[in-house]
Amino acid sequence: MEDALQKRVALERESVKIKPGDYRVYLAPAAFASVLSLMSGVFGELSIRQSRSALRFLRSGERKLSNQFTLIEDFSDGLYPRFNEEGELAPVKTILIDQGELKSTLIHTRSAKEFGIAANGATGSESLRSPVIARGTLSEAEILKRLGTGLYLSNLHYLNWSDEVNGRITGMTRYACFWVEDGKIKCPIENLRFDETIFDLLGSAVEAFTDFDEYIPEVMTYEQRQIGGIRNPGMLLSKMSFTL
C-alpha cells in the first residue's frame, strides 16, 4: 500500500519523453510476466526440432541464459489442470530451464511418436500452462537503490515477435512506468518501444531477480474465460534497448 501511494504521487507529476537508447531497467513482476507469456510456445519439442523456436540455440550450446534463471512447469498450486486434451497427466513439476540451461521441453504424444521420445503430458500446442520462475536475492527495499538511474517498468503491452526464430521481441511500455534518478522515482514517462532478444533479457543483461514473486493471473477472454497464470519475481537488468 505504501509503495502504491508513493507511485500515485509520482504519477501526478508531468511525464517526460525519454530518448531512444539503452537504459538500466527494473521489470516489475507484471511486466516480466508479459515477456514470459509471449514466450509460452518456445518450450515445445516440435517447435525446437522444426527450428521455429530460438531455444534450439540453447540445445546446440550456441547461446545461453543467465545462471540465475530457472523456470519450472509447476502444477502444485492447483490453479491449472495437469491433464491435456487426451486426458494424459503431466508431472506435478517439470524443470524446463535450470540455472540457464535447457533441461526439458514440453512434449505432446504426437511429438513423442514422431521423434521416438517420451511424452510428458503437454498439450497439443506444447505451450506453458503453469510456469513458475525461481526467486532471487534482490529485496524490495533495494530495488531503486540497485537500479540507480534508469527505468522502472510496472507494465508492458503489445508484445510480439520481431524475429521469432532468433528470439527477438518487441513491445511497448504501459501505465505506471517511471524515470528513476539516483535511486528515487522522479516522474512518469511517455510510452517507449523496446526491441530485445530473449538471450539478453534472460541472459547477459540479468543482474538480479527479486526475493519475492507475484502470481499474475491470465485475464484474457477471447472465445472463453482463460484460466491459470504465471508466478514470477521482478527482474533487474543492466541494459534494455528502446528504439522509439
> Cell numbers 509447476 label which residue?
74
* Residue-averaged pLDDT of the chain: 96
What pLDDT is recorded for position 7? 83
User: How many alpha carbons fall within 13 Å on the CB side of residue 88?
Assistant: 15
**Mean pLDDT value across residues 147-171:** 97
Provide the residue ranges of all domains of the chain, joining segments of one domain with +. 2-242
Confidence at residue 101, expressed as pLDDT on a 0 to 100 scale: 97
Region 66-82: mean pLDDT is 96
pLDDT at 5 over 90: no
pLDDT band at residue 219 using 50, 70 and 90 as cut-offs: confident
> According to the model, what pLDDT value does residue 75 have?
97
Q: Residues 198-210: what's their mean pLDDT? A: 97
Query: Average pLDDT of 150-164?
Result: 97
Q: What is the pLDDT of residue 242?
A: 98
Which pLDDT band holds residue 10 (cuts at 50, 70, 90)? confident
For residue 23, the Cα-to-chain-centroid distance in whole angstroms is: 18
Residue 222 — pLDDT band, cuts 50, 70, 90? confident
194, 243 contact by CB (below 8 A): yes
Share of the chain above pLDDT 90, in %: 91
- DSSP 8-state class, residue 201: I
CA distance 205 to 199: 8
d(CA 209, CA 26): 10
Span 38-63, pLDDT tens digits: 999 999 999 999 999 999 999 999 99
Residue 179 has pLDDT above 90, yes or no: yes
Task: Characterise 182 by phi-psi region: left (phi > 0), alpha (psi -120 to 50), beta (else).
Answer: left
- φ, ψ of residue 212 to 5 degrees: the values are -130, 160
Beta bridge partners of 215: 231
Contacts of 52 (CB under 8 A, 6+ apart): 164, 165
- What cell does 160 get? 510480439
Exposure class string for 14-44: b at 16+ Cβ within 10 A, else e: eeeebeeeebbbbbbbbbbbbbbbbbbbbbb
Kindly state the average pLDDT of the residues 221-244. 93
Task: Calculate the alpha carbon distances from 131 to 103, 113, 165 in Å.
Answer: 15, 25, 22
Q: Check whether 235 has a pLDDT greater than 90.
A: yes
pTM: 0.94
Render the burial of 217-239: b for 16+ CB within 10 Å, e for the rest.
Answer: ebeeeeeeeeebbbbbbbbbbeb
pLDDT surpasses 90 at 121: yes
What average pLDDT score do residues 84-101 get? 97
